[in-house]
Structure 1
Amino acid sequence: MDLDQLKTFDRIARDLSFTRAAAALNVTQATVSMRMRALEDLLGTTLFHRGRQVTLTDQGMTFLPYARRILGTAQEGREALRRVERGRVTLGSLRTMVAPLITEPLLRFQEVYPGIDVVVTEGRHTQIIAMLHEREVELGIVCWPNIDPLCLDLEPLVVMRERAPLVVSAEVAERLGPRPGIEDVLAIVPQVISLFWWQVEPDQASALCRRARSSVELPVEPALRLVERGEGVGYFLDSSVREGIAAGKLKEISPPEFGELYRDTALVVRSKAVLERPMLRDFALELAKDFRCMGRVIEDRLVEDVERAA
């Protein structure tokens, strides 16, 4: 089975004519007939009823979507190869890091590399780990340290520690007063936002969910809107709530029963050998500039690794 046979089969199915299919493919009708006989012999079935009018058999109708799927995959593969020839870098990032981190480094990178394709995929930690394991992405932004057994050999380039304050709306904070206890908070805002930002949820985040009447798991943006309306309380990364706090929409609270939380996040690669590629190295350097500004850097090997790779 080859792509020419599948293209011919698809064309005949569209036109319901061997003659029109031959014209569309710019081959002879004999070639079209030969390709179909070869495909049918290979599959061991008849794909078309031939006569004054050509129609698909039941077997042909069954096989058609599979043939088109193969043709589509082949086309995607050719497009991917063309992008690689032009240049391409790929990044898998935690959803919570895309909005505060990716845009500015990407714009700076594209000023230097205007013809390079950049593919950014977002997901949870386990999804990014799977992408790195399958080499679907070359750079990753993940929780650290990584304890996912699928891919334990990740190389951290920069590790950053970011606060995760407990926040409520400004109106709720005003009602609570300066030093509210957790029961005071939950009496006014009984619903806890659960975002599962950690690989293993800290005990106090779990305790907060257990003590609340209910909890809800949401992506960051709708979760923040829920909190701003006074309908929820939750731990958010500092980079996610900084603007809301500055604008007076959100307020950090510190119940005495609960200490401060933080999350460590790392910019990682499967192998530092990828830093030998100038465009990927430079994209990593641009990401690292903003990465270092988001929190307290607790490990930074990137410059040393770049110099070693060079």
Structure 2
Amino acid sequence: MRNLIEVSMRNLPHLSYLEAFEAAARHLSFTRAAEELNCTQAAISQRVRALEQFFARPLFHRRSNGLELTEVGTAYLPGIAEALDRAEAATEGMLGAQAQTSVTVSAPLSFVTLWLAQHLAGFSAAHPRIEVRLNSTIWTDPNVELADLSILALDPLQPASGAVQLGQERLVLVCDPETGRQAGAKPGATWFNAARLIYVQGRMHLLDLWAKKENIVIAPQKASIKADNAAAALEIAACAGGITAVMSTYAASYLSSGRLVAPFGAGEILPVALHAVPNQQRRLSRSAALFLQWLSAEIPLHR
């Protein structure tokens, strides 16, 4: 009987060790993991150390400025995070509570209106029971801590922790069809400055960047228009006429419909790209993971 019991027992470390490791790996901090699990920093450290002894391998590099996962820790984390999510969902089910069936996404207003609104039906069709909550932002989101995922324009060479790059962005100059018909084969200062210039205010001044790349000195003959988001700038250009410069993902629907044209093509690849960034303060729920998987498939890195 004793041998049967020994054979049947799972070869698993204590659950509290796994919880401590997952929280510390997500925060890259024993202190913040302790705050989340309502225990002391020393307790988290001891539990992680016990787990490392179980494997006889280190899971973290202890740096002076924080923690860094080892290769073993990086490989171990996804499976443990998924197992804890499943255990949580099963427990909630037994208690009569519903597992999380919603995903909250913080995203630029322009991304929501110009891309997500046109593609979201695909996610809803594949996952009809998952509620999608959208926080549309201009520049920053004051309630970003409530989001499961944030859509941000980041440098691909310096992404945030856990960020998933969504394709590549090109700097594309667009204008109304009539202005486009007046353009020459190559960009010219006379044509550029004669049109109404529509600026998108923000961290990157794309219209200025485009002019600089084309060696055009900006000296507009008409008062410019400044919008606080790309969606507004594009709609103004389509309705009132004018020139603006935006990321290629934002321009795509206007170009395909013919409401705007890109007289000089798609342009150069920008040093920023859209990224989906999970909230590092919590484990990624199954709903959020499914949304992230769908999003990265819809906007693949190589397009």
Q: Any idea what SS the aligned residue of 2:135 has?
A: strand
State the shift of 1:87 in Å.
2.9
C-alpha displacement of 1:194 = 1.3
Distance 1:269 1:165 in 2: 28
Matching residue within 193, 197, 204 for 2:198: 193
Question: Partners of 2:225 and 2:299 in 1: how far apart?
Answer: 29
Corresponding position: 1:214 with 2:223:
yes
Task: Check if 1:252 corresponds to 2:266.
Answer: no
Q: Which residue, out of 279, 284, 298, partners 2:287?
A: 279
Give the letter for the 1:93 counterpart: A
The answer to whether the Cα contact below 8 Å between 2:100 and 2:287 also exists between their aligned partners in 1 is no
> Matched residue of 1:165: which SS?
strand
Give the equivalent residue in structure 2 for 1:97: 111
> TM-score of the superposition, structure 1-length normalised?
0.53
| % identical equivalent positions | 17
1:160 matched residue in structure 2 = 167
Q: Which stretches in structure 1 are left out of the alignment for 5+ residues?
A: 1-82, 147-151, 298-310
In the other structure, the counterpart of 1:171 is 178
- Residue number in structure 2 paired with 1:137: 147
- Distance in structure 2 (CA, Å) of the matches to 1:120 and 1:179: 41
Deviation, 1:186, is 1.3
CA offsets 1:166-206 (integer angstroms, 9 cap, x no match): 1122212222332240232212x1x2111236x34355258
Question: Structure 1's 285 and 100: CA in aligned 2 closer, same or farther, altered over 3 A?
Answer: farther
RMSD: 3.6
Question: C-alpha separation between the residues in 1 aligned to 2:240 and 2:179?
Answer: 6
Shift of 1:145: 2.8
Indicate if the aligned counterparts of 2:102 and 2:132 stay in contact, CA closer than 8 A: yes
Letter in 1 for 2:242: G
Rg (Cα) greater in structure = 1
Q: Does 1:265 align with 2:274?
A: yes
Quote the residue 1:114 is aligned against: 128
Q: Deviations over 1:107-145 (max 9, x none)?
A: 344345434332111113422xx433xx21110110103
Task: Name the CA distance, whole Å, in 1 between partners of 2:204 and 2:232.
Answer: 23
User: Is this contact kept in 1: 2:104–2:132, CA < 8 A?
Assistant: yes
How has the CA–CA distance of structure 1 residues 241 and 200 changed in structure 2, closer, same or farther, with 3 Å as cutoff?
closer
Alignment partner for residue 181 of structure 1, among 181, 188, 200? 188
Alignment of structure 1 residues 21-40 onto 2, 5 Å: none
Amino acid at match of 1:99: T
1:83-111, CA deviations, whole angstroms, 9 ceiling, x for partnerless residues?
Answer: 98663211001122113432466434434
User: Which residue of the partner structure matches residue 75 of structure 2?
Assistant: none
TM superposition score normalised by structure 2: 0.54
Paired letter, 1:120:
L
Residues paired across the two proteins, number? 199
Distance 1:230 1:182, change over 3 A: farther
Shift of 1:236: 2.4
Residue identity opposite 2:198 in structure 1:
I
Is the 1:274–1:281 contact (alpha carbons within 8 Å) kept by the matching residues of 2?
A: no
Aligned to 1:291: 299
Q: Against the structure 1 CA distance between its residues 184 and 116, is the aligned structure 2 distance closer, same or farther, given a 3 Å change threshold?
A: closer
Unpaired segments ≥5 residues, structure 2: 1-96
